[in-house]
Structure formats: structure tokens, C-alpha cells
Amino acid sequence: MSAAVEAALDGLSCESCGAALNVAAGERTTRCPYCASPAVVARPRSAGEEPTFVVGFVIPEEDARTRAKAWMRSTWFVKSGFKEADVTDMRGVYLPAYLYSASARVGYTASIGENYTVTETYTTTDANGKSVTRTRTRVETEWRSLSGEWSAYLDDVVVTASRGLHNEELEAIEPYDLRALRRYTPKILSGWLAEDPSRTAAECATMAREEAVQQIGRRVSAFMPGDSHRELRYKTSFAHEHGALVLLPVWVLAVKYDPEQPAVRMVLNGQTGALVGRPPRSWTKVTIAIVAGIFALALVIYLGIEA
Amino acid sequence: MSVGTCTRCSSPLEREDLRCAVCALPAPRMVEADGVREAVAQILRCNGCGAAVQYSAEVQAPKCDFCNSVMEIETPDDPVEQAEVFLDFTISDAEAREALKAWLGTKGFFRPNDLQDRAAVDGLKPLWWVGWMFDAHAGVCWAADSDAGSGRSAWAPHSGRFEMRADNVVVPASVGLEAEECRELVPYYDLARNSTEPKGHPGATVEQFTVQRSAARRIISRALEGVARSRARNYVPGSSVRNLHVSVLPSTLTSKHLAFPAFVLAYRYGDKLYRAVVHGQDASCVLGEAPIAWGKIIFVSVAIISMIALIASALV
């Protein structure tokens, strides 16, 4: 993937009516303001790499709106008006993302806990006040050091290539079913917003490596023998790294529940319907709920003591 | 049909592959699309009426709002592949019946005495069941607990790495036969006796693969991990092992689609039907279920309990 596409495009004309088109910086699609024809911008190869893959939209607009409304109604302790508010803005966007894969070799060291049982005798007093000797078992852990290797292919590591949508938001609506991956064709973008990458390949590769290292951490941790382990340290070397630009379907929705407050943004996976958003919390409602909870608990304890 | 190999893991790539099924490296585009010299805003037009069309999430393809025609887009071809190598039938129907009869005679004391004589074959179905056979090279890392070098605990951790070559590993894909039945039949096949067409039993059913190629490759990869785990056991020191984990880095994973000959027989004993499978190349391999003589089991149990009671009373 080459450098992010930043410049706006001038001098494009509508293939349908000939009107001049203005394509904003970082966008791959546009719509003619005169004849409403949807157009997809094709750039020469020297201007930047074309996306390699696309995942098409599966969730239509009405379905996305219904899911968002259902999510809003299901949220708790939110400010008045949010549950009933209407979706004020809604856009289906093809989000540029970086699909990273590599082979990983890991060298690790860890302390492995192997449990064993110890039987011990102790002296205590019984119900009659007599001193008696009894036995009991206790589980102890013997710690042994272990070093070794772990290797595997890492695939399906996806990070955002857009500055408009943070990687945390993308992670929250993942996974995408990459079996539905299609080779990039402008046909899939026609009529939809499609963003060009606003992060460079190097930035995306760094983010992807960080995500890959976290994934490796989980897998190496599960690889450890023993009853438990601690002090796991590992060093990863990646080989045959590859990043491909992929366009992922995302619904971005805005809800204005109060004219004085900024709109609440929700992001919905255009393939699976998974949704992420930060509902506006009402701290008054949260406080009332906590106080009521404490009161109820105190009442239960009081009734228990009385009984 | 393979059109090249993956540059990362050397596994074969099919023409329709978007990514390598083993290591997920994007496959190179076979036909390069024509580039444009300068940026242009292209409109996708309906093949039917010429109107500008847009992608529809409902039909997951570009759809014309004027004439409702839907344009096809390139989708990953993920076919259900079919058998390409057929192992020959070398056993006839009559030999299969004889094999079943002989097998019923070997089932032991706790079966009815007249099982071999009274069992009547109710149905005989010759078929080719299907499976994948793969060859692969893989680097395997393992970690496990074993009793070797143990101290206060009965277990001590160990780890290691080895290179593995797996050839002619069969992964059953049959729906008609149980996976365990297939695994028991496999060692008795002569892989050299094969052809590209069904041979040796005209009219025998050829089972179809029911799994798409992408799913098949996942099943094969899991089977390779199973092979790696069983081989790793030989590298772990000691006699007792637990928590054996493996990580596998496969390369040059190639697979074939095979059809294996077998007979599925239904036989009746009394009022009940039983099922058996006779190998299509080796009549000595017969699997299946057989009736149990519960009278004999009760008689022997009572006799053993009586004997124990008798001995106990004599000792007391």
C-alpha cells in the first residue's frame, strides 16, 4: 500500500451529463450534483495502489436503522431523549483497512507451575475440648523454568487505514467474515461512499504488528503446559509480511438527542450488524441507581438480622 | 486446477483463489486489469437500459433502479470438488456376502450360537466413499508436561521442535460412513490400484463431497495438526504425558480427492436389522454391529457372582 491519498481531485467530469465533478480529498466515489449519477473514481496506478479486496454491504439502510434504534432503546442510564431520538444522519461507507498476514516465529521463556499435593498432620481440639491429631492435604506448586519456540501463520489481522474511524471502534465491530472477500471492483462501490486510506502503509503495518503481537501473546499463553504459568516473556520475529488494502462496509450513524449537546456517533458493521457507540450517560440516573441499590442491600441485611 | 504456488508457504494455488488457503497470503491477480492514464470518474451502467446503477446491499450486487436488472460481479469461486482418483473395487458382491458371513462367525461367545446361519442379508450397497489425501511438510513446535525429570510434582515441563513430512494422510469426507469406520478401512487399501474413472463395480454409487473447497482446506489443516500432535508424542521424554500442545507451520500442502470402494450391508437377525461395512479391496476387513446374546451374559454374570459368593462363604 502506498502513501495515503490526500489531495482533492479537480477537472473530473460526469460521464453522464458532462458536468464538472468535485471529488473531496480522500474519497473514492462521488455523485453528480446535476444528474445524480453515482461515479467511482479510477486513478492511474502511479497515484496510489488500488484496493486489493472488498467486502460488500449486506445490511441495508433500513435494517441498519432498525438495529441502531433497538440498541438505543436497550441502553441504560442514558440522558433523557436519547432512547426516543431519531437518527439524524446515516452514511454507508467503505472503510479502508489494512489486512495483514505474516509467518511468526516466537522464542519464549516462562515459569511453569506444576501442582502437587502435600499431606500434613496437625493438632487441634475437638468438640469435647480434647487435643486431637488430624491430617489434611494441601496443594502446592513447584515452579520450573521452560524455554522454547512457537511458530504459526498469522492471518486476518485487520487494522483501520482511516483517521476518521479509530482502530478501537473497528475492533469493537469486528470480526468481518473474510470468506466473503471479493477482489476489488468499482462495481461494488457504485452509489456508496468510499474512503481512500488516510494512514500510510508504514503506520498501518506498525498497528497491525502490535495487534499481531497481542494475538500471539494469547496463543503462546494457551500453548504453555503445566497447571499455571507466570513470567511469560516472548520475542517475536515476523517473516513474509504482507499487507493488502481492503474496503470494509460500515454504517456511520449520528443521533442528535439534545440541540445543546454534540451528536452521538454509532458505527455498525455493514456485513454482520455488530454495533459500537458511546451512549450519553446520565450521571444523575447512575447516582440514583447506586443509592437505591445500597438502600435495598441495607434493607435486606437489616431484615436478615431481624429474622 | 493448480496455477502456481504460494510464495510464502509453497502450497498450490487454484485459479479462483483470492488468498492462499494455508497461510492467507493474497494470490497474485492472474489477469491484470487495464489501468487508466489519469483520474476519471467512471459510471457503472446497466447492461439492460443503460441507466447508472449502484450496488444494492439487499441483493449484494449492483442493481438497476429503473429496470431492476442485477449485474454479476466476480465472486470467489468456492466449488464443491469431486473425486479425481478412484481406487478399484476388487471384491465382488458374492465375496462381500461371504466376508460378512465369515465375520459373523468370529464374533465370539457372547453372540447368538446361530448368528452365522440365521443372519440373512437384507441389502447390499456397493459404494465409493470419499476423502482427501494430503502430503505436507511442516515445522512443528511442541510443549508438554511429562514424568521425565519430575521433582516434587509428578510432572515437569518440556518443549521442542521438529520437522515433519506427512504423506498420504487420508481425511474422511464421507457422510454415509462414520469417520471412525473410514479410518479403520484406510490401512487395508492398496493405493496403487487406482484409476481416474470408477472401475471394478459398474452401478456402484459414487458418494459426493459435500464440503466446499475453502472448508475442505480448513479440515485438512486441522488433520495435519492432529498428525503433528500424535508425532510430537514421540519427542516428549518420559512415559506419561499431559497438556501436549503443538503449533504447526505447514508448507507445500497438497491434497487429492479420492474415492474408496466399500460395501454397506444390512442383515437381519430375528426381527432386527444390523449394519456392516465390508472393505472393497480386502475381504478380511469387515466392520459393523452384531446382536448380543443377553441370556449368555446374564448366565455368566450369575455364575461368577455365585462362584464369588461360594468362595467367600467357604473362606468365612
- DSSP secondary structure letters along A80-102: TTTTTPPEEEEEEEEEEEEEEEE
Query: Taking Cα atoms as reference points, which of B254, B273, B279, B275 lies closest to residue B265?
Result: B275
Is B283 within 8 Å of B95 (Cβ atoms)?
Answer: yes
Given an 8 Å threshold on Cβ–Cβ distance, is A112 in contact with B41? no
Cα B29 from Cα B16, distance rounded (Å): 10
- Half-sphere CA count of B242, side-chain side, radius 13 A: 8
- Kindly report which listed range (A73-82, A202-211, B258-267, B277-286) carries the lowest average pLDDT score: A73-82
Q: Is the pLDDT of residue B140 over 60?
A: yes
- Check residue B38 and give its pLDDT: 64
Closest residue, chain B, to A145 (C-alpha): B157
Residue A183: band (very low, low, confident or very high) from pLDDT cuts 50, 70, 90: confident
Q: What residues 201-220 of chain A have any CB closer than 8 A to a CB of chain B?
A: 219
Which one has a higher pLDDT value, B205 or A44? B205
What pLDDT was estimated at residue B37? 60
Which among A44, A188, A244 has the least Cβ separation from residue B55?
A188
Q: Which residues of chain B make contact with A226, given a CB cutoff of 8 A? A: 145, 155, 157, 243
Q: How many whole angstroms separate alpha carbon A179 and alpha carbon A299?
A: 55
Interacting residues of B228 by C-beta distance below 8 A, sequence separation 6+: B138, B140, B142, B164, B246, B248
Share of residues in chain B with pLDDT > 90 (%): 45
Alpha carbons B29 and A182: distance in angstroms, whole number: 12
End-to-end Cα distance, chain A: 72
Of residues B256 and A19, which shows the higher confidence score?
B256
Average pLDDT over residues A105-124: 94
Instruction: Give residues with Cβ within 8 angstroms of B75, minimum separation 6.
Output: A182
Q: Which of B8, B16, B145, B153 to mutate to test the interface with A (most CBs of A within 10 A)?
A: B153
User: What are the grid coordinates assigned to A174, written together?
Assistant: 469486528
Q: Which of B159, B161, B221, B242 to mutate to test the interface with A (most CBs of A within 10 A)?
A: B159
- Is A247 within 8 Å of chain B by CB? no
User: pLDDT class for B173, splitting at 50, 70, 90?
Assistant: confident
CB B275 within 8 A of CB B184: no
pLDDT more than 90, % of chain A: 49
Let me know: does B236 contact B109? Beta carbons within 8 Å.
no
